[in-house]
Structure 1
Amino acid sequence: MHVTPFSTLSATFSTPPAVLFPRPLLGMLVAALLAGETLTTPVQAQTQADTTLPEAQNVIVTGTRSTRRTVSDSEAPIDVLSSKDLQATGSSELGTALSRLLPSLNFPRPAIADGTSSARPAQLRGLSPDQTLVLVNGKRWHTSAVVNVNGTAGRGSAPADLNTIPVSAIERIEVLRDGAAAQYGSDAIAGVINIILKRGAEGSEIQLGGGQYSKGDGRQETFSVNTGTVLDNGGWVRLTAEQKHQGETNRAGADFRNPAEPLYGRVNQKQGDPELRQTNLGLNAALPISGALELYGFAQFSRRNTDAAATWRTAYTSSTKLRTPLYPQGFLPNEAAMNTDVSTVVGIRGKSDSWRWDASLNYGSSEFSLDVNNSVNLSLGAASPTRFYAGKLKNTLTVANLDLARELDVAGLTNPLTLALGAEYRRDQYDIGAGEPNSYFGSGAQGFAGFQPSNAGSSQRHSASVYANVEAEFSRQFSSSFALRHENYSDFGSVTAGKLSARYALSEQFALRAAASNGFRAPSLAQQGYTISTTNLITINGTSQLVDTGTFGVATAAAKALGAKPLEAEKSRNYSIGAVWQPRQNLSFSVDTYQIDIDNRILYSGNLILPASLQSVLAQQGVLVGAARYFTNALDTSTRGVDVVGTYQLNLSGGGKLGLTLGYNHNDTSVSHVTANPVVLAQNNLLLIDRQTILRTTVASPKDKLTLGSDYSSGSWLTHLQATRYGSFVSPQNNPALDQTYGANIVFDAAVSYRTGRWTLSAGVDNLTDQYPDQVTSSGNLNTGGTLPYSTFSPYGFNGRYVYARAAYAW
């Protein structure tokens, strides 16, 4: 496992968490930290009824370098989700499966959001998607090339794309719900998702599944195979192949806005999931080469093609003026995107003179290319083509890493102390490729104007880090760990992060745990350099309008003219205190409260509707836009919350087994500071960070989520039932009168499986009662006359009931 540890604790403890914890609890936290102890939480997962080993006894590899640490004695809350847990959700999407298993994770289904429709972001503990670090087999996973620049959850982020990893390749997932920048470096502010791939030569399985929504659309087919084979000298290799197809869904309403339109009263817009075709390939292998040396490696390839709708263009721009003779009845631009993800890790590990060591080289890339079809460049008139290549984005990560660890016998300790040391070199690169000239000439292609040669280019940076980690058990009741990491970036300097955690068992059944840390997230190269001019649907004075809008990298002349400054790293302080109670071996509960303070949060600015004077300034640079945006260190925020987890396993008469789980998360984010408005914007009555941008950070995702699950097995039958309550959320606007609060809702899922010989047959229903979120009100024309009836912030989408079946053959 790649562990990157520790940093300076002066920043960590600069703001005491008294505002979150009452003084008695705060005193307990400090006492636990000074004593060096931490608590463990039981597994939050849909525990399968046929699990033979209680998950609390499973050895974990995330957030620790010890070879003995289990879920039950971990010093921070960690969830372990098995492959059976993931399969029980019925979803072939990893992001969706995790959102059903983890109350603290939000994974909405945005629509009409350009690249975000094909590379959807996930949020942990209500924070930005890029504040959660994703690992695969303990190695840092690259982030997506797609920047979420539309009005969706996670606006402004470019996180890892979870859906590039096939569920059929996964052995288990460990989710560390705690700040871990001192252990793993940048991005691990909200937590860490570590995806462990299946290993070994034994066991193979073929799966074929499909389903459809009750509206008759969104048909899905998935075929996968996972198999292993033996290599010489005791080695092994596992191969995974998966092919998926998803039909589009559409929940748009009829267009009654203008009776003069040729297609008045029809459903012209599309709001729903895009059509999708995806191929995933994976390899995981290990080969002993001599003595204690082992060569290992894994690789993943994913190619996803999506066809997503843009916004409907009416036939007339006024009551009489035809938009273009090429589409006399109006048209719906189509965005055909291709996401290509590649990742390769090779390494060698062994043991020498009591030291365990692991040296590895990691390469990953995400490429996003886009064609715009069924469109027109209005500047070219009737001579315009209707298909355009709009350009591409590519993000690349290269990491060289060395980890060292050993156990040391220290007088007075119950078990040997674990010492871990390491060093890492990381290189990032972000590329923007221009589209064809017709895609960006003049007004550009409708739907998505192409990247211009002035937008194109490549940016790079590198960083080097050293880290250390110490874990000790002072007694059978008391354990503690300390991590420190120092990292130097070529573009903005050095950052140091540290973490202190502890666990104290008051009895064999009850324990307390606590942690305090500081962390950081380096601004991504995408946030620093993403530049494009395109047409966006922007609300102006309560009315949705199509406006030519420029997104400018902070180093461009256009951004500087509007007051942009170089981006700084986000800095965080994490505090948590929790308790674990396990009155019986088959019954456990955990409660963990937390506070996460983040300074200099990087946000995408509001839509700056430019007055004529500023349009003229940009025009002198050859930039012709009516609105502008750029990234900025905008806010200081504080997120406070609680996680509750309960599991119960019961053997029933007649041989049946029942597993019950409860999971609850509540979090609340508030703003403690807003960056001063640039002078040039203030002089023109513009706000860099407007009300809508601030409230998207605080209220646009549900503040709470509750899951209740049960798994019952008897003989060859297995049933899975789950109820999930999603809390209310707000879709904010700059005019408070136009805000809309969406009510809480409960979604029921059910599945049944039957095993016969080598076959397992499954069927299930997601959203059994066919629940939909509230519809967008017509107030202020925010739902464009009823054509877009649902909010993209809905945490469970707006497709309705889904029925599926699956057959698996194992050997």
Structure 2
Amino acid sequence: MTLVSRASLFSSLSTLALLAAPAAAQNQDPPAEQAETTQADVASGDAIIVTGTRRTDRTLAESPVPIDVIGGEALTETGFTEVNRILNQVVPSFNFPQPSITDGTDVLRPATLRGLSPDQTLVLVNGKRRHPSALLNINGSVGRGSAAVDLNTIPPLAIDRIEVLRDGASSQYGSDAIAGVINVQLRRRPGGQFQATYGRYHTSLKDVPTVTGVQLGANGQPVIDADGNFVLIDNGEDRRARDGDTITSALHYGFAVGKTGYLNLTAEYRNREATNRSGYDPRRQFPTVGGLSDPREFTFDRLNHRYGDAETHDLNLFFNAGTELGAAIEFYTFGSYSTREGESAGFFRRANDARNRNFSASTTTFVPFYPTGFLPLITSDIEDYSLAAGVRGTVSGWNWDFSHVYGHNGFDFGVANSFNTSFGAASQTRFDAGGLRFGQHVTNLDVQREFDVGGLHEVSIALGAEHRHENFDIVAGDVQSYAGGPFAAAPFNAPAGAQVFPGFRPANEVDAKRHSWAGYAELDADITENLTVQVAGRYEDYSDFGSTLNGKIAARFAPVEWFALRGSASTGFRAPSLHQQFYSTTSTNNVNGVLLEIGTFPVSSPVAVALGSQPLQPEESKNYSVGLTLTPGEGLNITADWYQVSIDDRIVVTENLQGAAVVALLQGAGFNSITSARFFINGIDTRTRGLDIVGTYRIRDTGFGNFTLTAGYNRNKTRITDRAVLPTLPGLTLFGRVESLRIEQGQPRDKINLGLDWDSGIFGATVRTNRYGDVLVPAATAAGDETLEARWVTDAELRLEGGEGVQFAIGANNVFDVYPSRASVGGVFGTNPYFIPYSSFSPFGFNGRFVYGRMSVRF
């Protein structure tokens, strides 16, 4: 879909919602369950929760497990319009690094909860399982080897609240809920809201000086430093950037349908330009001419890389609807359609780079294909859609709910401004590199009833069954995107495939499917007014690996009204994803005139089996938590929870297995052209321990307005407790130092969230500040390790009510223009820090100050 057609669609939906406005005039005040969740509800603990229990009357304050509730207004009163970035501001145990130069991960970035993997957190929408993306994050970023749900497809304006359950819940919801559950509840109340936000980065790159030229020696030639690079002249001032212009327009409208129905529509369009936080490249760019530097070296633009946010264009559409079919039956449906076009960059290829050689024009001398070098680009086209429908009602005292959800995500790769060196002048410069597809069907039947049991205060029993069907596909790209051309063979030995992202081959194509059945039971009982006990169990059977049985017990004891103890113990699991079982990509490298295959192989492939791979088994966890809740005064709530999550058979990607032993084993199995391979294994056991403290204090009618103060603290530590060994290669390192330390120390050890919301008459303000703890950026040896030191990042916003539902706001994210620690030359990135100055491991990104304005109209 083109940008013009998307804009037209957005305009049409806006017009439709405005034309439907008269229907809203027929509505009465919405019932309590349709009213918007406010900060006051959250602060008081009176918000009804629907996550972690299937009871219909459980409040946040009464929950036996820790839950964060983020109201809709907290999601829209910020300069960021992506859900992952917003949650990173307000949930202490949530981490959202923003990597760059990581292929598809640049435009579909994963987030984590409690320091665990992105795919170990279950995402629900309206209590129903949300499908993950088709993209497998396979490069060197946090979440490597996982496929995550793309929360950024959900417009904040469509959300009533988000409930974040910080506890293992596989026994209640099934696979993936090891770290917890994020449940997005959509708006269903009448009324409309239009919101437009514009912002851009106004920043100075910390410790990246502005370069004005190349230093020349007495001979008129560039001065060369100890690393063999040119010495550049700088003016002593940090480089300034004004980029990343982002325009987001969103419209939400809810109205009545007949006497009992409702329909809520949300449309969001976001146009985000790329950011660039690269430094100046001091390397020689052109071949020498008669032993002298090419004159173009003196005028070349040395900001030749693009390191930062990808350029993206997003269209997100959501609807949420329902109506009564009879006295005790309701039909409901909700769904979404999203597209995202992205463009990100790889590493710059210099004019004198061997990968830039035009073999058609040069057989003995070097002639570049791109005369001044080139920056290859990865383009992405993502299509995501979902549709849910169900009926629910009451019969003989039982509340029942029958539903079906289908979700699909497609991720197509393209390559631009590049070429396949092995084809010479006949090479394309744009390529279709193929794509990934993932689809998921989920059918649920849930029943729940409350009973009067002698001697007990209140008892709720829930039973349910689920069937899930999933499929994963890989689609091949253009022939030139992966193939070796006429110059791939000796004596030229040119590399094959489109540079920056070789395409998927026909041999990589797969159409994998599986299904599973599950049944669960849940008992939630108020034994007395002071004691609540919850017990749950779930059995699941998968067509690919077998069955699993998990259980949970949780309790809350409140000896006095203002103090309670709570705790839980549970087992959990995460089924190996189809991505991890069947993902395949290979590239051809020329080594000493011989074409060799290097790549990622499915665990069941003959190559992986020859190296000792085994069918993947589910990750298994044991979760424990104990905590307390305090409400010592009106409007003041404090919770503290300690937790431990032990995971056995955690699924990871091996190192690139290579060397004489690997080659000998592969040749013995008949694979003479493969020298390096990697695949997924149940490779490690881990233990994560942490502490969450969350406090909220609401002060009303002070004479200076109303105040809401929030504070959150998370401390988290993960350790690898055991490692797998391949029986065929017992001395080989399967999971090396860099990847091990990325899991153990690649996310903040601790994080603090502090917030202040104030409103008085027509004025309002929000100030948030977050401290992100130390993060280790590991190298091959300890001598090269670098530490991103702890940083405070502050956001501020001022609002003005203009009357008639109109609100204006101005603000800044990262007001004080804070950057992560500067990478040092010779450390983790070798000489790259000259032009890649900041690590992608930074938990708050590396873009600097974002200044914005927003207009909102409620009607």
Match of 2:825 in 1: 778
Match of 2:154 in 1: 165
Alignment partner of 1:234 out of 247, 256, 260? 260
State the alpha-carbon separation in 2 of the partners of residues 240 and 772 from structure 1: 35
1:804 is aligned to 2:852: yes
Conserved? CA contact 2:510–2:582, under 8 Å: no
Which residue of structure 1 lines up, in the alignment, with residue 813 of structure 2?
A: 766
The CA deviation string for residues 222-268 of structure 1, in whole angstroms up to 9 with x for no partner, is 01100022212411111111100000000111111236456667121
Q: 1:348 to 1:52 in 2, by over 3 A?
A: closer
1:319 Cα deviation from its structure 2 partner: 12
Q: Could you tell me whether the CA contact under 8 Å between 1:610 and 1:626 is conserved in 2?
A: yes
1:325 and 2:368 aligned:
yes
1:190 corresponds to which of 163, 176, 179: 179
| Percent of residue pairs bearing the same amino acid type | 44
Q: Hey, what does 1:277 align to over in structure 2?
A: 313
Match 2:455 to one of 412, 420, 429: 412
Q: Are the counterparts in 2 of residues 255 and 785 from structure 1 also a CA contact under 8 Å? A: no
CA 535–791 in structure 1, closer or farther in 2 if over 3 Å, else same: farther
Listed one character per residue, the Cα deviations across residues 80-105 of structure 1 (whole Å, up to 9, x for unaligned) are: 11110111232100000011010100
* 8 Å CA contact 1:449, 1:535 repeated in 2: no
Change over 3 Å in CA distance of 1:81–1:67 after alignment to 2: same
Mapped to 2, the partners of 1:651 and 1:275 lie a distance apart of 43
- In our comparison, the structure showing a higher alpha carbon Rg is 2
1:643 to 2:631 alignment: no
Mapped partners of 1:486, 1:612: distance in 2: 42
For residues 569-600 of structure 1, the C-alpha deviation after alignment (integer angstroms, 9 at most, x for no partner) is 00000000001111112112111000000000
8 Å contact from structure 2 (residues 525, 533) kept in 1: yes
CA positional deviation for 1:324: 6.5
2:424 corresponds to: 381
The correspondence of residues 541-552 of structure 1 with structure 2, limited to 5 A, is 549-552=598-601
> Could you say if the C-alpha distance between residues 260 and 176 of structure 1 is closer, same or farther in structure 2, counting changes exceeding 3 Å?
same
Moved more, 287-296 or 131-140: 287-296
Is contact 1:660–1:711 with CA below 8 Å preserved after alignment?
yes
1:445 aligns with 2:507: no
Hey, what does 1:371 align to over in structure 2?
Answer: 414
CA distance in 1, matches of 2:808, 2:261: 32
Q: 1:609-648 alignment to 2 at 5 Å?
A: 609-611=658-660, 614=663, 617=666, 627-648=676-697
The answer as to 2:740 corresponding to 1:740 is no
Q: Which residue of 2 aligns with 1:16?
A: none
Partner residue in 1 for 2:745: 699
- Equivalent residue, structure 2, for 1:582: 631
| Cα separation, partners in 2 of 1:318 and 1:284, compared to 1, 3 Å | closer
Q: How big is the shift at 1:607?
A: 2.9
| Aligned AA (2:257) | L
Answer yes or no: is 1:59 the counterpart of 2:48: yes
SS of 2:819's partner is coil
Of 547-556 and 417-426, more deviation after overlay is shown by 547-556
Q: Is the 1:405–1:418 Cα contact (8 Å) retained in structure 2?
A: yes
Amino acid at match of 1:278: D
Q: CA deviation at 1:668?
A: 0.3
- After TM superposition, the structure 1 stretch with the greater mean CA deviation from structure 2, 205-214 or 264-273, is 264-273
Per-residue Cα deviation, 1:630-676 (whole angstroms, up to 9, x for no partner): 11111111000000011111124326111111100000001110111
Alpha carbons 2:389, 2:405 under 8 Å: kept:
yes
Offset from partner CA, 1:707-741 (integer Å, 9 cap, x none):
11101111011100111000001011222211111
Match of 1:306 among 336, 342, 345: 342
Residues in 2 aligned to 1:785 and 1:714: alpha-carbon distance in whole angstroms: 48
Distance across 1 between alignment mates of 2:480 and 2:668: 20
Alignment of 1:646-661 (within 5 A): 646-654=695-703, 656-661=705-710
CA change 1:721–1:501 in 2 (3 A) is same
Partner residue of 2:218? none
Q: What is the CA RMSD across the aligned residues, in angstroms?
A: 2.1
How far does residue 438 in structure 1 lie from its aligned partner after superposition?
0.7
Matched, 1:120 2:109: yes
Aligned AA for 1:229? F
Letter in 2 for 1:733: A
Distance 2:816 2:163 in 1: 31
Confirm or deny: 8 A CA contact 1:257 1:785 kept in the other structure.
no
The aligned counterpart of 1:394 is 437
**Worse overlay, 130-139 or 58-67:** 58-67
Q: Which residue of 549, 574, 583 corresponds with 1:521? A: 574
Give distance in 1, aligned partners of 2:683 and 2:858: 52
* Matching residue within 503, 516, 524 for 1:471: 524
Contact 2:106 2:310 in 1 (8 A): yes
For residues 689-709 of structure 1, the C-alpha deviation after alignment (integer angstroms, 9 at most, x for no partner) is 111111111100011000111
CA drift at 1:311:
1.7
Question: Retained in 1: the 8 A contact 2:762–2:802?
Answer: yes
- Using structure 1 for the length normalisation, give the TM-score: 0.89
- What does the per-residue CA deviation read over 1:42-77, in whole Å, with 9 as the maximum and x for residues that have no partner? xxxxx977x367440111100101111101110000
SS at match of 2:739: helix
- Structure 1 window deviating more from structure 2 (126-135 vs 733-742): it is 733-742
Q: Which whole-Å CA distance do the structure 2 matches of 1:608 and 1:616 have between them?
A: 11
Q: 1:150 is matched with which residue: 112, 130, 139? A: 139
By relative contact order (CA 8 Å, sep 6+), the higher-ranking structure is: 1
When structure 1 is superposed on structure 2, of 644-653 and 285-294 the one drifting more is 644-653
